[in-house]
Amino acid sequence: MILAILETAKQAISEASWETITAACDLAQKTNDSVTALLIGREVRALAPTLSGVSTVLVAEDPQLDSYIPEAFAKIVSEVIKQKSPQIVLAPGTETGNDLMARVAARLGLGLATNCTEFHLTRSGEGQGEVRVTRSNWGGSLLEEVEILSKPILLTLQPHAIPAHAAAGPEPAIEALSPTLTAKEFRVRVKELLRSEKKGISLTEAKIVIGGGRGLGSAEAFKMLEELASLLGNAAVGATRVATNNNWRPHSDQIGQTGAQIAPDLYIACGISGAIQHMVGCKNSKKILAINKDAEAPIFQRADYGVIGDLHQIVPALIAELKRVKGA
């Protein structure tokens, strides 16, 4: 049995969870096995019948589980693993999924491979055979192949690595679980939720992102990127770690391994050298245009279009030209 741990948000199965189901079904097909899914929450049972392709859905409901409660969820998953003895347990490699599975692995004393992108099974069924996975290193700049020695195999799936597709099949059987939770499992829980005001177009949603790096030279210089963004429309301004560490921009604008991962139609990189830790955050952009005064800068090996020269001359000239074109 392959156990798929699902995440829900606002009464729906999350995108990363659909990807997890797809990956679990693929694995089950290869190993002649079946998929059992686990739903945890206050009221999640209604979601179970939608999970076609899965043979059984385990539903762990409790009125106290109104949000992700790390230790309570970890206890439920650990107990299901002990009772049902799955060969493989797969969860989404999201922040919550990785947090949950790290806690489960610690409780059960098992290894855990996070953010897997590919699975290589030589044999399964008997719980023997070699299990290797490919997982993301350096935020996705490198891929590592690891063998997992402990059983059952605990994995999380890198979001967007495997596109979700609907699996055909009869409606799954539903089995209700009654979790026993104690106060200990509630010592870490959300006490309050603060909503933040949305201003402008967010980095991850913008169709065009204009990134600024050390070449900008000051917080002041970012104003011209803002102006360019407003001329282009549906555009947002991002930055490199050098720019955020110099307090030219807030950290929330940082693109890269330890910042945001963006996937716009166009990324315009200004005064950015193209360090791998930055590029891993924008590599899913459809097109990348780089403006850099150094023809040897690594960004030119990772861009579609290049302009060589001083951005402090090129960007203002581009703004003037766009204004002229728009005015006309």
Ligand X SMILES: Cc1cc2nc3c(=O)[nH]c(=O)nc-3n(C[C@H](O)[C@H](O)[C@H](O)COP(=O)(O)OP(=O)(O)OC[C@H]3O[C@@H](n4cnc5c(N)ncnc54)[C@H](O)[C@@H]3O)c2cc1C
Contacts of other proteins in 280-299 (CB under 8 A)? 283, 287-289, 298
User: Is cis: bond before 152, omega within 30 of 0?
Assistant: yes
Min dist. Cβ of residue 212 to ligand X (A): 8
- Contact present, 90 and 3 (Cβ < 8 Å): yes
266 binds, among ligand X, other proteins, none (CB under 5 to 8 A by kind): other proteins
Closest CA to 90 of 146, 25, 150, 139: 25
H or E element at residue 176: strand 173-177
Task: Please say which residue, 178 or 247, places its beta carbon nearer to other proteins.
Answer: 247
Min dist. Cβ of residue 127 to other proteins (A): 15
215 binds, among other proteins, ligand X, none (CB under 5 to 8 A by kind): ligand X
Q: Is 259 in the site for ligand X (CB under 6 A)?
A: yes
- Please spell the DSSP secondary structure of 108-140, one letter per residue: HT---EEEEEEEEES--SSS-S-EEEEEEEGGG
Identify the residue among 14, 22, 240, 273 touching other proteins (CB under 8 A): 273
240 binds, among ligand X, other proteins, none (CB under 5 to 8 A by kind): ligand X
238 binds, among other proteins, ligand X, none (CB under 5 to 8 A by kind): none
Q: Is 294 in the site for ligand X (CB under 6 A)?
A: yes
Closest CA to 241 of 257, 217, 227: 257
Task: Please say which residue, 30 or 323, places its beta carbon nearer to other proteins.
Answer: 323
Q: For residue 256, what are the contacts with CB-CB under 8 A and spacing of at least 6?
A: 139, 240, 241, 275, 277, 278, 279, 280, 281, 282
Identify the residue among 45, 139, 179, 226 touching other proteins (CB under 8 A): 139
